Amino acid sequence: MRVIPIVPATAPKAAAAGQGWLARLGQAMQAHRRTIVALQWAVVLVYLLLLVIPAFMPLPAEDAHLWNNLRLFAQFVFWGIWWPFVMVSMMALGRVWCGVFCPEGSLTELASRHGLGRAIPRWIRWSGWPFVAFVCTTVYGQLVSVYEYPQAALLVLGGSSVAAVGVGLVYGRGSRVWCRYLCPANGVFSLLARIAPLHFRVNEDAWKASVERKPMVDCAPLIDIRHMKSASACHACGRCSGYRGAVQLAARSPAQEILATRNKDVRTEEALTLMVGVLGIATAAFLWSSSRALVQVKSWLANWLVEHDILWPLNDDAPWWLLTHYPAANDMFTWLDGLCILAYILGGGLAVGLTLVLCVRLAARVAGQADLSWQRLALALIPLAGMSIFLGLSMLTLGHLKAERVALDWVAPVRVALLVLGSGFSAYLGARLLWRGLTPRTVTALALFLLPIALIDTIWALNFF
C-alpha cells in the first residue's frame, strides 16, 4: 500500500496550537482523513443512484414534481444544484469539491491503487486536453440534450466516469491522472480556483529550515507541493496540511494570485480555455435555445432545402446518442437541427472567443510591459467567466423552479448584481495589471481590455432583458 501516514493522529492538534482557525481546520482535514474518505464514498453512492436509476424510468407525468418523481429530482440535483454551485465553490473555496467530494476523483484514485501503475505517457500530459475535452463535452451535451434527459446524462457523465476509472486502472499508482490531465472540467476548475480566497499556502523557507524527515505526502493530483504557488491544481484535500511545518490552510485576497502570477506561469491553452472555451463556446451553448436568429436561419434553410428537393437533412431518424431523439416526449432533432446547433455553438462561440483574444492581445501589446503577456492579462477575465458560467447554469435551476411555480421576481436584480460583481472585479484586475500612470498608452490599453467585458455583459443583457 502506497499511502503512509505522514504524522501520528495526535500530532496535527499539537502542531496547530496557537494557529488561526483556518490552519486548525486544515490540520483537522489531515487528521480525519478517514472521515473524508467515508464522505467521498457516500457521494459516489448517491451519484451512481441518481445517475443510473432515472435513466430507466418512464417520462414523468404532467402533474409530477421534484419531490415525488426521482427522475425530475435527479435532473434538478445534477443540473439545478450540483453544477452551478460547484462553480461557485471553486471561486469561494478553491478545489475542495475535487479533493473532498468529487465521485470521479474517488473512483479514479481507487482504480489507480489497484491498477497497472504504468508511467504517464507524454500524450496524456499534453496541456491542450482541458480545452479540447471541455469544448467537446459542452457541444456534445447540447446535441443530446444532456440537461433534459437522464439517458443523455448517463451517457455523458457516466461515460466520463468510466473513462476516469479506465485511466486509473492503467496509469499512475494511487494518483488522479484523469483529474490532473484529462477531466473535461479541469481547465475551468483550475481557472476559477485562482480567485478563491482560501488556499493551502506553502512556506518554502519553513520547508527548507525543517529538520523533520517524513515520507512524502501522498498527493493524488501529482503536485510538487514544495514549490506550489497556485491554487489552480491543488485539490484542497488537506493531506499535506502541516507537512514539515510549511503547509497550512490560509486566507488571501481573491486578487492576490492573479496579480502575482508571472508570464511563465500562464500557458496559452489556459487563456484559450478561458476566453474561447468558457466565455465563447460555453456562453453560446447556454443561449442557442433562446436565439431568434437561429430559428430564422433554420427556417430559411429548411425552405431552401425543400425547394431544391434535398430532404434528408429534415429527417429526424438520428439515434438518441447522436442527436436528441425522444418520440414519447415529442422531442426529436432533425439533422438540420443538429447542424444548426453545432454551427451556432462553434461558430458563434469561436467568433466571440477570438474577439476577446484579439482585444486582450491588443491591450497587452499597447501596454508594452515586458512582464505582462496577453496570456497573463487574460486571467483578469476569470471573475467575469465565473459569473457567466454560473448565470448560464442557473438558468436550468430557474427553469426547474419555474416549473414548480416558485415566485421568481427576485431573479432580475440578482442577475444584474452578479454581472456587475464579476465585471467589476475583472475590470479592477485588468486596471491593476495595466496601470502605469495616466498616460495615453495606459488609457488605450485599459479601454481595449474593457471591450471584452462590455461584449459579454451585452450578450447576457440582451438574453435576459
Work out the pLDDT band at 62, boundaries 50, 70, 90.
confident
Number of Cβ atoms within 10 Å of the Cβ of 275: 25
pLDDT bin (cut points 50, 70, 90) of residue 291 is very high
* pLDDT single digits (tens) 222-266: 999 999 999 999 999 999 999 999 999 999 999 999 999 999 999
Lowest mean pLDDT among 9-23, 29-43, 99-113, 436-450: 9-23
Compute the average pLDDT of residues 425-445: 95
Q: Which residues contact 229 (CB under 8 A, 6 or more apart)?
A: 202, 260, 265
DSSP string, 47-67: HHHHHHGGGGSPPPPTT--TT
SS3 of residue 125 by DSSP: coil
Burial class (CB within 10 angstroms; exposed 0-12, middle 13-18, buried 19+) of 342 = middle
Average pLDDT over residues 379-385: 98
Q: 19 falls in which pLDDT band (50, 70, 90)?
A: low
| pLDDT at position 3 | 43
Count CB neighbours of 458 within 10 A. Answer: 10
- pLDDT above 80 for 279: yes
Q: What mean pLDDT do residues 276-305 have?
A: 95
Instruction: Please state, in angstroms and rounded to a whole number, the distance separating the CA atoms of residues 106 and 220.
Output: 10
Q: Which residues contact residue 76 at a Cβ distance below 8 angstroms, ignoring those fewer than 6 apart?
A: 66, 397, 400
The interaxial angle of helices 335-343 and 129-143, nearest 10 deg, is 140
- Model pLDDT, residue 211: 79
Res 389: pLDDT: 96
Query: DSSP class of residue 118?
Result: B
The whole-angstrom separation of Cα 430 and Cα 445 is 10
The CA angle 143-452-284, to the nearest 5 degrees, is 10
Overall average pLDDT of the 176-194 stretch: 96
pLDDT at 343 over 90: yes
Integer CA distances (angstroms), 268 to 272, 340, 372, 422, in order: 6, 30, 13, 23
What pLDDT is recorded for position 126? 94
User: What percentage of the chain exceeds 70 in pLDDT?
Assistant: 96
DSSP string across 346-363: IIIHHHHHHHHHHHHHHH
Cell of 286: 447556454
Domains of the chain by residue range:
267-310+317-464
Please tell me what DSSP assigns to residue 328: G
CA nearest neighbour of 400 among 151, 102, 74? 74
Residue 322 has pLDDT above 90, yes or no: yes
The β-bridge partners of 326 are 331
